[in-house]
Structure 1
Amino acid sequence: MIKDFTDEQRELRNTVRRYLDEHSTEADVRAHMDTERGYDPQVWSTLAAQLGVHGLAIPEQYGGQGFSWIELGIVIEEMGRALLCAPFFSSIVLAATVILECGDHEAKRRLLPGIADGSTIATVALPGEGTAVEAARKGDTWSLTGNAALVLDGHVADLILIPATTSDGLRLFTVDGSAAGCTATAVPTLDQTRKLADLTLEAVQATPLGDGPAEPVLARAGDFAVVALALEQVGGAHAALDISVDYLKTRVQFGQPIGSFQALKHMAADVFVEVETARSAAYYALFALAEGNEEIPAAAALAAAYCSDAFVSTAHQMIQFHGGMGFTWELPAHLYFKRARSSQLLLGDPDQHRERLAQLIGL
Structure 2
Amino acid sequence: MHFDLTDEQKQFADAIERLLADKLSGNILTRSEEVPAIANALDVELTSLGVPAILTAEKDGGLGMGLLTLSVVAEALGRHAAPTSKIRSAVGAWTIATYGSDGSRQRWLDALLTGDARVAFAFSETSDIWSPDEWRMTSTDGQVTKRCVEGAGDADLFIVGLQDGLFVVPSDRAELHVSPFPPLDASRPHAGVTLQMAGAERAGDRQAAWRLYDALMILGAIDAAGAGSAALELSTEYAKTRVQFGRPIGAFQAIKHALANMAVDIDPVRYFCWFAAHAWDTPAPEAPWSAALAKAHATDVAVKTARAAVEAHGGIGYTWEYPLHLLLKRAMHDRMTLSSPTRLRARAAALPRPLT
Structure 2 length-normalised TM: 0.89
Structure 1 residue corresponding to 2:109, chosen from 112, 125, 131 = 112
| Contact residue 56 and residue 67 of structure 1 kept, 8 A | yes
1:239 corresponds to which residue?
A: 230
Q: In 2, distance between residues paired with 1:36 and 1:155?
A: 14
Paired position in structure 1 for 2:172? 178
The code of the aligned residue for 2:199 comes to A
8 Å CA contact 2:30–2:322 kept in 1: the answer is no
Q: 2:350 is matched with which residue?
A: 359
CA distance in 2, matches of 1:105, 1:281: 36
Task: Select between 232-241 and 287-296 the one with higher mean Cα deviation.
Answer: 287-296
183-192 or 287-296: bigger deviation? 183-192
Task: Give the residue type in structure 2 aligned to 1:119.
Answer: D
Contact 1:281 1:306 in 2 (8 A): no
Matched, 1:281 2:272: yes
Higher strand share: 1
Distance 1:60 1:2, change over 3 A: farther
C-alpha contact 1:38 1:193 (8 A) present in aligned 2: no
- Kindly report which structure 2 residues correspond to 1:65-104, keeping only aligned pairs within 5 A, or say none: 65-93=63-91, 95-102=92-99, 104=101
- The aligned counterpart of 2:24 is 24
- Aligned-partner Cα distance in 2 for 1:346–1:122: 17
Q: Distance in 2 between matches of 1:303 and 1:88?
A: 22
2: CA distance, partners of 1:2 / 1:38: 42
Conservation of the 8 A alpha-carbon contact between 1:57 and 1:69: yes
Aligned residue number for residue 139 of structure 1:
none
Q: Choose between structure 1 and 2 for higher RCO, CA contacts under 8 A separated by at least 6 residues.
A: 2
- Number of the residue aligned with 1:155: 153
Match 1:54 to one of 40, 46, 52: 52
8 A contact 2:125–2:145 mirrored in 1: no
CA–CA separation in structure 1 for the residues paired with 2:25 and 2:144: 39
| Deviation of the 1:247 alpha carbon | 0.2
Offset at residue 287 of structure 1 (A)? 1.7
Q: Is the 8 A contact 1:38 1:194 kept in 2?
A: no
SS in 1 for 2:153: coil
Q: Are residue 41 (structure 1) and residue 40 (structure 2) matched?
A: yes
Count of residue pairs the alignment pairs up: 344
CA offset at residue 25 of structure 1?
Answer: 3.8
Q: Is the partner of 2:178 in helix, strand or coil?
A: strand
Tell me the C-alpha RMSD between the 2 structures.
2.4
Distance 2:72 2:35 in 1: 28
Query: Following TM superposition, by how much is the alpha carbon of 1:70 offset from its aligned partner in structure 2, in angstroms?
Result: 2.1
Residue 338 of structure 1 is matched in structure 2 by 329
Q: Distance in 1 between matches of 2:212 and 2:93?
A: 9
Measured in 2, the distance between the counterparts of 1:38 and 1:177 equals 22
Q: What is the CA distance between 1:109 and its match in structure 2? A: 4.7
How far apart, CA to CA, are the structure 1 residues paired with 2:315 and 2:28? Answer: 25
Query: Partner letter of residue 293 of structure 1?
Result: A
Equivalent residue in structure 2 for 1:326, among 317, 322, 325? 317
- Partner letter of residue 80 of structure 1? G
After the TM superposition, which residues 221-260 of structure 1 pair with which residues of structure 2 at under 5 Å, given as runs? 221-260=212-251
CA contact (8 A) 2:124 2:148 kept: no
Percent identical residues: 30
| SS in structure 1 at match of 2:164 | strand
- Displacement of 1:361 in angstroms is 4.3
SS in 2 for 1:161: strand
How far apart are the structure 1 equivalents of 2:36 and 2:197? 23
Deviation at 1:38, TM superposition (A): 7.3
Residue aligning to 1:121: 118
Partner Cα separation in structure 1 for residue 301 and residue 230 of structure 2? 13
Q: Distance in 1 between matches of 2:197 and 2:284?
A: 39
User: Residue type of the partner of 2:82?
Assistant: L
Q: Which runs of 5+ in 1 are unaligned?
A: 137-142
Residues 226-252 of structure 1: per-residue CA shift (max 9 Å, x gap): 111111111111111111100000001
In structure 2, what residue type is equivalent to 1:337?
A: L
Q: Equivalent residue of 1:178, what SS?
A: helix
Secondary structure in 1 matching 2:188: coil
What is the CA–CA distance in structure 2 between the aligned matches of 1:340 and 1:226, rounded to whole Å? Answer: 13
Cα pair 2:166 2:209 within 8 Å, conserved: no
What amino acid sits opposite 2:342 in the alignment?
D
User: C-alpha separation between the residues in 2 aligned to 1:186 and 1:285?
Assistant: 34
Deviations 1:134-160 (A, max 9, x none): 545xxxxxx942322111111110011
Q: Distance in 2 between matches of 1:287 and 1:105?
A: 29
Higher deviation after alignment, 229-238 or 36-45? 36-45
CA contact (8 A) 2:55 2:94 kept: no
Q: Is the 8 A contact 1:91 1:121 kept in 2?
A: yes
Q: Secondary structure at the match of 1:335?
A: helix
Whole-angstrom CA distance in 2 between matches of 1:27 and 1:178? 36
Give a deviation string over 1:198-221, Cα, whole Å, max 9, x none: 1123x46433224x64x2221111
Q: Is the 8 A contact 1:174 1:206 kept in 2?
A: no
Residues 54 and 90 in structure 2, CA contact (< 8 A), matched pair in contact too: no
Note if 1:198 corresponds to 2:192.
yes
**SS of equivalent to 1:5:** coil
SS in 2 for 1:30: coil
In structure 2, give the amino acid aligned to 1:357.
A
Structure 2 alignment gaps of length 5 or more: 128-134
Q: TM-score, normalised by structure 1?
A: 0.87
